[in-house]
Amino acid sequence: MLTIHNIAHQGILPKEALPELGLSWDRFSVEGIEFYGQLNILKQGILSADAVTTVSPTYAREIQTEAGGEKLDGVLRAKTGKVFGITNGVDYSVWNPATDPALAARYDAEDFSNKTRCKGALQKELGLPLDTQAPLVASVGRLALQKGADLVAAIAPKLLRATDAQVVLAGDGDTRFVAAMEAAVKKADGRAVFVKGASEPLVHRIYGAADFVLIPSRFEPCGLVQLYAQRYGALPVARATGGLVDTIVDCDAALETGTGFLFDESSEEALLGAAERAVAARSHPRWGALVRRVMRTDRGWDRPARRYEQVYRGL
């Protein structure tokens, strides 16, 4: 069984490296490891596998399309009935606001009033205005084009002008996006902060304080940010792609259904519109019921583990 996390990373080498892999030249063919005149280790792995798994059902479908397959879609489509998407889980012994030692105060789905205390503590820690009633919008993760870091930096000043929200940006990565985050914060009149390379305890505190988390990924095999955020009562605002579709149900206007806020187009306008829709929903009478429903969502490892066991037994 071969598990693909991100099909963009394939292990492509010059063909001259074939003997170093312990393979003979008869394997260098279109039906084998050859890939546009080079070697592709992931392609060979797919061809050799009895089953291929990846980290969400939607991503399993996406990588079998020309748009999402990174030129391996045909190889995967040939594995009819042998490609499985199994959504990642979360270790709730680590990511649990009821027991998290990093938080200023503990809370759970039955009583999340202490989330307000967590927000006040984070505002004090990061130098934001002390206002626990202000919506807190966060972005946490790797600063990369795939993750839509450019979109977050672009809409942050606009979101601050359009709403009474505060914004916390945390992450590290591409220097272009680090600079963009720093520039966005300078326009924020003290209502936004950028933390480069946030520690894991601080990331826990951000989830504990946040009302919303922005996840505008251009593609996303599964995503863990939305799973952590949901358990901490921070509603994800995410692009409808990959595992984000499998783990977030878009909220209806009455907030009677849904576990987050989805948007389709990978653009500043779409992200800003979804973020504004989310902030507006916070004043809805059913907001508390929505947060409680989201926190009760089970994204632990039990069900994914059983699904993996089924695939193993099937082999």
Query: β-strand 166-171 against 52-54: which pairing, if any?
Result: unpaired
Instruction: Give the tokens for residue 307.
Output: 């699904």
Which residues of the chain carry a pLDDT beneath 70? none
Same domain, 42 and 136: no
Same domain, 151 and 267: yes
Whether 149 is covered by a domain: the verdict is yes
Q: Quick one: CA dihedral 201, 205, 208, 214, positive or negative?
A: negative
Whether 80 is covered by a domain: the verdict is yes
The per-residue pLDDT for 52 is 98
The per-residue pLDDT for 28 is 96
- The CATH code of the domain that includes 271 is 3.40.50.2000
Q: Give the total number of structural domains in the chain.
A: 2
| Cβ–Cβ under 8 Å, residues 213 and 203 | no
Same domain, 75 and 174: no
Same domain, 152 and 201: yes
| Cβ–Cβ under 8 Å, residues 227 and 213 | no
DSSP 261: E
Whether 39 is covered by a domain: the verdict is yes
Bridge partners for 236 per DSSP: 213
Same domain, 42 and 179: no
Whether 234 is covered by a domain: the verdict is yes
The per-residue pLDDT for 305 is 97
* Tokens 């593609």 sit on residue: 219
Same domain, 205 and 135: yes
The per-residue pLDDT for 84 is 98
Same domain, 53 and 195: no
Q: Find the distance separating the first CA and the last CA of the chain, reported in whole Å.
A: 8
Whether 309 is covered by a domain: the verdict is no
Same domain, 46 and 125: no
The per-residue pLDDT for 26 is 93
Same domain, 128 and 183: yes
The per-residue pLDDT for 187 is 86
Whether 110 is covered by a domain: the verdict is no
User: Strand, helix or coil at 14?
Assistant: strand
**Rounded CA Rg of the chain:** 21
Whether 107 is covered by a domain: the verdict is no
Same domain, 23 and 134: no
d(CA 234, CA 174): 26
Domain that holds residue 147: 115-296
Bridge partners for 2 per DSSP: 52
Whether 143 is covered by a domain: the verdict is yes
